[in-house]
């Protein structure tokens, strides 16, 4: 009998959407994440509504954070997340601008205690400590979470007090089937 020798790591993923029924995109993304190879969704935060940062002439965002266990390496995981975004109609091109409206945004926030600087991925996520829409959902599912090189996340929430964020009382239903197709 063969046994898997792949090592599983804890990772936290931020989910965000503000176009084309954002709640539905977030709920479907959970199922899409569950369909990834060697990956299990461990915890899901509540949904939060937040005002856009930067370009404010756009709809509010719906945000959440999920904890996963995965044997995918960080860049493999990023590639899979980008594929899920594409399946949800996310368009990335050189004309895009930071904080643009989107059908789905999936960001790797943390991958264990790994600190990584790669042209495609920086870990921990470089702006997560400045975003209430990341910190509040992360605190909900991992109240004692520490960020490599920074310490406990709850210490950074006060620095985001000017950001308006609201926890939504929405029951998160699992979609019937995944629309994500593995490449």
106 token code pair: 């999936």
pLDDT at 95: 59
Give me the catalytic one of 92, 105, 131, 144: 105
DSSP lists the bridge partners of residue 166 as 49
Which pLDDT score is estimated for 100? 77
Q: Catalytic: which of 32, 60, 92, 102?
A: 102
105 catalytically annotated: yes
Q: In whole angstroms, what is the distance from residue 119 CA to residue 41 CA? A: 27
Query: Per the structure block, which two tokens stand in for 83?
Result: 């594929």
State whether residue 67 is helix, strand or coil. strand
If 0-12 CB within 10 Å is exposed, 13-18 middle and 19+ buried, where does residue 154 land?
middle
Which two tokens mark 7? 């090592």
Q: Which of 32, 90, 92, 167 is catalytic?
A: 90
pLDDT reported for residue 1: 44
Residue 90 is among the residues annotated as catalytic for this protein: yes
Give the separation between CA 3 and CA 118, rounded to whole angstroms. 31
- pLDDT score of 92: 75
* pTM of the complete model beyond 0.75: yes
pLDDT recorded at residue 169: 83
- Segment (H or E) for 79: helix 74-87
- Residue 102 is among the residues annotated as catalytic for this protein: yes
Q: How many CB atoms lie under 10 A from the CB of residue 38?
A: 13
Q: Report pLDDT for 48.
A: 97
Q: Which CATH architecture has domain 9-167?
A: 2-Layer Sandwich (3.30)
Instruction: Based on the residue annotation, tell me whether 7 is a catalytic residue of this protein.
Output: no
Marked catalytic residue, from 7, 38, 60, 107: 107
DSSP-based helix, strand, coil % in the chain, nearest 5: 25, 25, 50
124 cis-preceded (ω within 30 degrees of 0): yes
CA–CA distance from 3 to each of 56, 70, 73, 134 (Å)?
51, 16, 19, 36
Q: What is the mean pLDDT of each run of 10 residues along the chain (183 residues)?
A: 74 96 94 95 96 83 97 97 94 66 94 94 94 96 90 90 89 50 48
Tell me the C-alpha distance between 67 and 143, whole Å.
Answer: 12
């Amino acid at each position: 009998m063969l046994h898997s020798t792949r090592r599983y790591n804890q990772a936290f993923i931020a989910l965000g959407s503000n176009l084309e029924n954002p709640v539905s995109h977030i709920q479907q993304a959970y199922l899409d994440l569950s369909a990834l190879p060697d990956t299990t969704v461990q915890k899901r935060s509540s949904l939060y509504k937040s005002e856009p940062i930067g370009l404010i002439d756009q709809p509010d965002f719906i945000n959440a954070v999920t904890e996963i266990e995965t044997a995918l390496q960080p860049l493999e995981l990023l590639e899979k997340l980008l594929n899920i975004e594409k399946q949800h109609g996310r368009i990335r091109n050189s004309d895009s601008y930071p904080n643009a409206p989107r059908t789905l945004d999936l960001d790797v926030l943390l991958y264990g205690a790994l600190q990584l600087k790669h042209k495609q991925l920086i870990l921990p996520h470089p702006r997560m400590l400045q975003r209430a829409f990341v910190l509040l959902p992360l605190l909900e599912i991992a109240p004692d979470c520490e960020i490599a090189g920074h310490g406990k996340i709850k210490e950074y929430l006060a620095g985001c007090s000017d950001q308006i964020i609201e926890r939504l009382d929405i029951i998160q239903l699992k979609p019937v089937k995944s629309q994500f197709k593995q490449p």
